[in-house]
Amino acid sequence: MAEEPHPDWRHTRKGTTLYTSLMHYQPITISDRIALTFTKSMRFIADTFFKRRYGHRAVVLETVAGVPGMVAGMWTHLTSLRRMRVGYGPKIRTLLAEAENERMHLMTFIEIAKPNLFERYLVLIAQAIFWNLFFVIYVFFPRTAHRIVGYFEEEAVYSYTEYLKEIDSGRTPNIPAPKIAIDYWKLAPDATLRDVVIAVREDEAHHRDTNHQFAKEYDEQRKTSQSMEGITSNELQRKSNARKFS
């Protein structure tokens, strides 16, 4: 049975072509700089291990990429339960759809790269470490966590762009797309690896923009909270002054 995108995910992609150029969110706060430094260190490790073996790189990195959406979606779900409030549904569905989409990236590249036993063990280790690390970051620093994912996805767009260059230059064979990818992205029956990489890059651009937006929303919430505190403080001061002169 063919797997299809989550309904919410399909809706966001329908009839659109995402802007997949190498966009970069310039770090502003210390939190942004920490997120970017963390991402660059992960990029260095990936480059060291895999160099230009983009298919094998994708297998390991998509395993890690499938973690943030699930962790964030789960924690947001629990937050809604603890606070007994509605309004979290759209964010939960977006995050879980992101995790599902990244899972399908992994299933696709397993068919393409055929990871060996060492790479499969590496996947287990990477997932175990990153799940726990990201969970701690998200619980205590959710804004930073979303910024990290935004920067991760910037690097993913860059990596898949480089992958396309390898295919177009002939250094990587443009093999037929696996059936799982054709069914999932509704590609043409004669689709190739190049078509798959373009579709995956579109997904990563969507995740990039979504997570940077989530981080921005935390900034907006903080500003709103500070503004309300200022209004409350001014109101209390006004009442205090009124009592003095009454």
The tens digit of pLDDT for each residue in 159-196 reads 899 899 999 999 999 999 999 999 999 999 999 999 99
- List the structure tokens of 184: 């999932």
Q: Which CATH number fits domain 29-159+197-244: 1.10.150.120, 1.20.1260.140, 1.10.472.10, 1.10.3720.10?
A: 1.20.1260.140
Helix segments in 18-141, DSSP class H: 30-50, 54-83, 89-113, 117-140
Per-residue pLDDT, averaged over 64-75, amounts to 95
User: Could you tell me if 72 and 146 are in contact, meaning their C-beta atoms sit under 8 angstroms apart?
Assistant: yes
Average pLDDT for 27-55:
81
Residue 75: pLDDT band with limits 50, 70, 90? very high
For residue 26, pLDDT beyond 50: yes
Beta pairing partners, 192? 176
Domain limits of the chain?
Answer: 29-159+197-244
What span, in angstroms and rounded, lies between the C-alpha atoms of 214 and 21? 20
Give the type of residue at 5. P
Q: Which range (44-48, 95-99, 100-104, 208-212) has the least confidence? A: 44-48
- Residue 64: predicted pLDDT: 87
Q: If you average pLDDT over every residue of the chain, what do you get?
A: 84
Identify the DSSP state of 177.
Answer: P
pLDDT band of residue 151 (cuts 50, 70, 90) is: very high
